[in-house]
């Protein structure tokens, strides 16, 4: 497997222009759409697969599968075992078969990966791309997409990426899961990091051997979605803290933090009419920093007045208006719980806590929003030295919206303050 030290060395040139912008930054708004999944896309998630295929032309859909974020076959010891292989080529075949099972007319692997870098400049492969009506980018490591499909410190497009972007401008759908969603990012795409280390140490441009370091690429990914930072695997891996710190450090005022097996569907991307809709099993956290105040003090970092919204299937979000439209059939509920909000001493689901559990911050947010008597509660990081406190408070806009069937409820209009417990004790 290609290690972080090798990939880190490759990133040096990309960091020369710290303020570089993606190749598409000045391009006109595309006619295509995005379906971005927070990872762990289940084979049986008919809603998401059907959405991608519908947007690619329904029964006539032709899906190009790009899996360059996976290790190449040369680094997979099980490359010759179809039951065990986990490389770009066998992952491409897997997704191609899956899209055909879900009703696409055709789906085929686009043969670009770390073993086939030259294919990114192939006229034949670019011609294959031009015959597709939609694209799906698989998971793995998003930095591998940078090193295979983009060129140099200015992130200019290879021939294959230029062909993909041209199809997107003409109306093709671009979809992806995990790294395949993350690579849609504009400037300051995250490359790694855990929430606690991010809050404690801040973010750094680059790609690092230590996966706990909060790293990012200033030049970003493909620049397909720029109205907010993207993060993935959010609830399972407790990434709200890292994405909040990265946004504050890099001057972004919004984060779309995607949960697993859940898609953010984007219409009219990079235009004033951009709209987003949630589709899938869990939800998408929107962190709004437009009124937030970050502060670095000797006792630690803090940020106050972050708006927290958790949107679930059918909810829509309009970035230009910062407006949420609950899903059809939703209804606001009246808080009825009068028991104390449960204590939370691992708010970001620490990977070092053997007793930890996913969706920790969300559970506390839902419990507070559903409580009839409690206006605010404080959760904590599992780590200490310093410990970070996360104060969650209601506002006049707080509400829980119930959904028909088994769809989880939305939680809207909470406020977050995050800071070192040492600073809090000093006032």
pLDDT digits (tens, 9 = 90+) for 37-83: 999 999 999 999 999 999 999 999 999 999 999 999 999 999 999 99
Which two tokens mark 69?
A: 């974020």
**Torsional sign, CA 152, 144, 135, 309:** negative
Can you count the helices (H) and strands (E) in the chain?
12, 24
pLDDT higher than 50, residue 14: no
What's the whole-number mean pLDDT along residues 294-305?
94
What's the whole-number mean pLDDT along residues 200-211?
95
Q: Which residues pair with 256 in a beta bridge?
A: 230, 286
- Listing DSSP states for 159-196 in one string gives HHHHHHHHHHHHT-EEEEETHHHHTTB-SSEEEE--HH
pLDDT higher than 60, residue 16: no
What's the whole-number mean pLDDT along residues 379-394?
97
**Percentage of the residues of the chain whose pLDDT score is greater than 70:** 93
Q: Is 120 exposed, middle or buried (0-12, 13-18, 19+ CB in 10 A)?
A: buried
pLDDT higher than 80, residue 97: yes
What's the whole-number mean pLDDT along residues 215-234?
97
**pLDDT attached to residue 249:** 98
Q: How many other CB atoms sit within 10 Å of the CB of residue 293?
A: 12
Confidence at 331, pLDDT banded by 50, 70, 90: very high
Using DSSP, state whether 318 is helix, strand or coil: strand
C-alpha–C-alpha distance, residues 317 and 324, integer Å = 5
For 185-195, write each residue's pLDDT tens digit.
999 999 999 99
What's the whole-number mean pLDDT along residues 7-34?
52
**pLDDT attached to residue 27:** 61
- Tokens 């504050």 belong to 248
What's the whole-number mean pLDDT along residues 387-416?
97
User: Is the model more confident about 345 or about 1?
Assistant: 345
pTM metric for this prediction = 0.93
DSSP state letter for 371: B
Confidence at 216, pLDDT banded by 50, 70, 90: very high
**pLDDT attached to residue 155:** 87
For 119-132, write each residue's pLDDT tens digit.
999 999 999 999 99
- Which residues fall within 8 angstroms of residue 38, CB to CB, at 6 or more apart? 177, 178, 181, 232, 233, 234, 257, 258, 259, 260, 261, 262, 263, 264, 282, 284
C-alpha–C-alpha distance, residues 250 and 398, integer Å = 28
For the chain, state the CA radius of gyration: 21
- Tokens 């219409």 belong to 267
**pLDDT attached to residue 151:** 93
C-alpha–C-alpha distance, residues 114 and 220, integer Å = 20
Q: How many other CB atoms sit within 10 Å of the CB of residue 87?
A: 23
Q: Please give the mean pLDDT across all residues of the chain.
A: 93
What's the whole-number mean pLDDT along residues 303-331?
98
Confidence at 425, pLDDT banded by 50, 70, 90: low
C-alpha–C-alpha distance, residues 271 and 323, integer Å = 16
What's the whole-number mean pLDDT along residues 147-159?
92
Confidence at 17, pLDDT banded by 50, 70, 90: very low
Confidence at 4, pLDDT banded by 50, 70, 90: very low
Distances (CA, A) of 313 to 158, 263, 321, 414: 36, 9, 20, 19
- Tokens 């078969």 belong to 97
C-alpha–C-alpha distance, residues 256 and 162, integer Å = 26
Distances (CA, A) of 370 to 253, 285, 340, 376: 27, 17, 11, 12
What's the whole-number mean pLDDT along residues 76-96?
97
What's the whole-number mean pLDDT along residues 316-328?
98
């Amino acid at each position: 497997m290609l290690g972080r030290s090798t990939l880190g060395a490759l990133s040096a040139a990309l960091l020369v222009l710290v303020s570089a912008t993606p190749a598409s930054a000045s391009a006109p708004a595309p006619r295509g759409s995005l379906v971005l999944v927070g990872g762990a896309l289940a084979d049986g998630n008919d809603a998401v697969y059907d959405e991608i295929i519908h947007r690619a032309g329904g029964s006539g859909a032709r899906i190009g599968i790009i899996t360059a974020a996976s290790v190449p076959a040369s680094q997979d010891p099980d490359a010759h075992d179809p039951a065990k292989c986990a490389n770009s080529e066998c992952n491409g075949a897997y997704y191609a078969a899956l899209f055909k099972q879900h009703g696409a007319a055709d789906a085929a692997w686009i043969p670009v990966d770390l073993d086939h870098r030259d294919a990114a400049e192939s006229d034949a492969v670019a011609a294959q791309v031009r015959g597709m009506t939609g694209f799906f980018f698989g998971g793995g490591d998003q930095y591998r997409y940078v090193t295979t499909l983009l060129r140099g410190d200015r992130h200019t497009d290879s021939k294959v990426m230029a062909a993909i972007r041209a199809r997107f401008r003409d109306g093709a759908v671009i979809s992806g899961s995990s790294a395949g969603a993350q690579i849609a990012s504009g400037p300051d795409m995250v490359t790694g990091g855990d929430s606690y280390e991010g809050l404690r140490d801040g973010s750094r441009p680059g790609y690092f051997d230590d996966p706990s370091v909060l790293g990012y690429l200033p030049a970003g990914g493909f620049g397909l979605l720029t109205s907010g930072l993207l993060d993935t695997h959010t609830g399972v891996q407790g990434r709200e803290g890292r994405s909040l710190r990265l946004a504050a450090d890099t001057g972004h005022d919004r984060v779309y933090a995607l949960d697993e097996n859940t898609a953010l569907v984007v219409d009219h991307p990079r235009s004033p009419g951009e709209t987003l809709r949630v589709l899938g099993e869990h939800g998408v956290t929107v962190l709004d920093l437009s009124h937030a105040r970050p502060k670095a003090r000797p006792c630690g970092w803090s940020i106050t007045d972050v708006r927290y919204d958790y949107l679930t299937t059918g909810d829509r979000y309009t970035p230009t208006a910062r407006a949420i439209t609950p899903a059809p059939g939703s209804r606001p509920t009246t808080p009825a719980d009068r028991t104390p909000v449960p204590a939370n001493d691992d708010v970001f689901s620490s990977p070092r806590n053997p007793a930890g559990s996913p969706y920790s911050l969300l559970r506390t947010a839902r419990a507070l929003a559903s409580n009839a008597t409690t206006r605010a509660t404080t959760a904590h990081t599992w780590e200490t030295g310093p410990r970070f406190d996360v104060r969650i408070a209601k506002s006049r806009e707080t509400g829980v919206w119930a959904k028909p069937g088994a769809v989880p409820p939305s939680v809207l209009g909470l406020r977050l303050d995050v800071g070192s417990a040492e600073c809090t004790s000093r006032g």
